Each structure stands twice: as C-alpha cells, then as structure tokens.
Amino acid sequence: MASTSSFTIPIVDLSKPDAKSLIVKACEEFGFFKVINHGVPMESISQLETEALKFFSMSINEKEKAGPPNPFGYGSKRIGQNGDVGWVEYLLLNTNEEHDFSLCGKNPENFRGLLNSYTSLVKKMACGILELMAEGLKIQQRNVFSKLLMDEQSDSIFRVNHYPACPELAVNGENLIGFGEHTDPQIISLLRSNNTSGLQIYLRDGSWISVPPDHNSFFINVGDSLQVMTNGRFRSVRHRVLANGFKSRLSMIYFGGPPLSEKIAPLPSLIKGNQSLYNEFTWFEYKNSTYGSKLADNRLGHFERI
C-alpha cells in the first residue's frame, strides 16, 4: 500500500484555547490525534509502567496464574475468542470493580494502587477531551459524552500490552503483526506507550501510517460508539501494531465506555436535516456483537441504516 508522506499526526495542546477546534478537525479527518500538556504526571505513568514490566518479566507459569482473560486477566498471543492471534501478551483489567489481583505479580496491592490513581487521572483527561469535543461540535449539553464515563456504571476497561522484541524480524526485515487491525468499540481510547514504534493508523486513502512513538504524550482514538453518537461526523480509527525486531513495546490503554444499559444513537442536534445513519442500540447489545466478531470485522455494519 502506498504511504502518504505528507501526513503528520495532529497534535493538540490541551492548555491552548484552540484545542477544541483542533480536536474536532482531527476527529473528523482521522479519528486520531496526539495530546500534549495532558496533565498526567510522568511519575504516575512511569511507576505504573515499571510495575507492569515487572509483571511481564515473570515466568510464563506465574503470569498464567492471572489468566485466561475471560474477560479480565492475563493473555498471551490469542486476542478475543474468535481465532485472532498476535505477537503480544497483555493484561485486561476492569477499572471499576476490584479485580482479583492476588495472582497479578509479586506486589499486587502496589499494582492496584498505582492503577487506580493512573486510571482516575486518565479518565479525568478523557472527560476533559470529551467536553472539548461537545463544545467544538456546538452541543448545548457540554457533558453529553463525558457523563457516560463519569457514570458509576461506566463500562471502561484498562489494557496493558507488551510486545516483546522479535529478533528474527531484525534479520529478515519482515513485518509481524503484534495486534491486528481493528477499531475500538467504546467511546474514546487513550493510549500511552514507551518509546518503541509499532502503532499504525489507517487512512481513508488506503494507506497505513506509522505513528512515531512519544512516551511523554497520549494518543487518542475515536471509538465506534462516538462515531455513532456524532452520526458519522467523527470517525473511529482503524489501527494496528507491528512487532519490533529490536526493542520491546509497552502500551497502556484506557478504553472509556458507557454503562451497559446506555442507549447509543446519533445525537438529535447532529442529525439536523440529515438522516440518522445508525439504528439505536444499547452498549450491552453492541458489546455482545463485538465479542462475537473478529478483530478486523466492520462491527458497525450491522447497525447502519440502509
């Protein structure tokens, strides 16, 4: 596939007044942008990263005590329930309920404490960004998106992905899929990784673009549910991760999701004279259909109005 050399990842400085218009533009064009001045202290990020690396450095037997991921826990190579595989091991964790951390590493209380403070900071950032989106879209109710994450029943998830270096790649110069192409089903995803490359996003012209890593910044993805709520004005971004031949990659992703009973439908103010592009569904229904799909599937297809 051709690569678009002129493309640069949109960067949004959250401390600047033009943030909301830049966010709207980036979400309309790509469903993806990078944020700086995000307000999450580096200390909180690196402490959690260190704890996650300690977990992944344990023996496979130890790690598997925290698995399989059904839906939460440790997983290796297999992604989801429908035959997807990748060069990755991961932890999938619930951000709301207390996950049983008794099997997660040598110091589970420390891990849980760091995770809780990190996710509350990242959730705060996510809500701030969602409010800027609502303002940028001129929606009267500023918290129309953020209230879904603020809800006590919000179905948000936290994921830590570890992509070990794959030395054969360095020799052969080939590509190996770390995490196959997909869109995120939730509302918004906030990703932070170490300084190892691998993340790529798919542009509408059919090209895959490598996202230069930046361990000081966050990368934001529009999820399928936000695409629906904005009646297709914002695009959920297709993305994937390639394994690296030299360095391991560690990414930590917060997936902000609505409560299970929440009805997801285009907002009336964004339909205006246009047609609603999607049939209404609950997050429970969408999640169920998601878990029956393969990574690369177009999950929103079932809910499009013809």
Give the number of other Cβ atoms within 10 Å of residue 195's Cβ. Answer: 12
92 or 203: CB nearest ligand GA4: 92
At 207 the three-state DSSP class reads coil
What's the CA gap between 204 and 207, in Å, rounded?
7
Among 66, 157, 229, 237, binds ligand GA4 (CB under 6 A): 157
Give the number of other Cβ atoms within 10 Å of residue 104's Cβ. Answer: 24
CB of 156 to ligand GA4, least distance (A): 10
What's the CA gap between 93 and 52, in Å, rounded?
12
Check residue 159 for interaction with ligand GA4 (CB under 6 A).
Answer: yes
Among 184, 196, 262, 300, binds ligand GA4 (CB under 6 A): 184
Which of the residues 192, 233, 235, 249 is marked catalytic? 249
Alpha helices per DSSP H over 151-223 = 167-172
299 catalytic, yes or no?
no
Among 32, 72, 255, 303, binds ligand GA4 (CB under 6 A): 255
Contact 81, 58 (CB under 8 A): no
Check residue 224 for interaction with ligand GA4 (CB under 6 A).
Answer: no
Q: Which window, 29-37, 43-51, 74-82, 193-201, contacts ligand GA4 (CB under 6 A)?
A: 74-82
CA distances from 254 to 200, 203, 204, 270 (A): 18, 23, 25, 26
Check residue 178 for interaction with ligand GA4 (CB under 6 A).
Answer: no
What's the CA gap between 215 and 221, in Å, rounded?
16
Q: Which window, 118-126, 180-188, 234-242, 262-270, contacts ligand GA4 (CB under 6 A)?
A: 180-188
Among 141, 167, 291, 298, binds ligand GA4 (CB under 6 A): 291
Angle at alpha carbon of residue 31, lines to 246 and 14, rounded to 5°: 85
Check residue 156 for interaction with ligand GA4 (CB under 6 A).
Answer: no
Among 80, 86, 232, 258, binds ligand GA4 (CB under 6 A): 80
Check residue 295 for interaction with ligand GA4 (CB under 6 A).
Answer: yes
What's the CA gap between 60 and 114, in Å, rounded?
23
Encoding tokens for residue 157?
A: 């998830």
Residues of this chain that interact with ligand GA4 (CB under 6 A) are 79-80, 82, 84, 92, 157, 159, 182, 184-185, 255, 290-291, 293-295
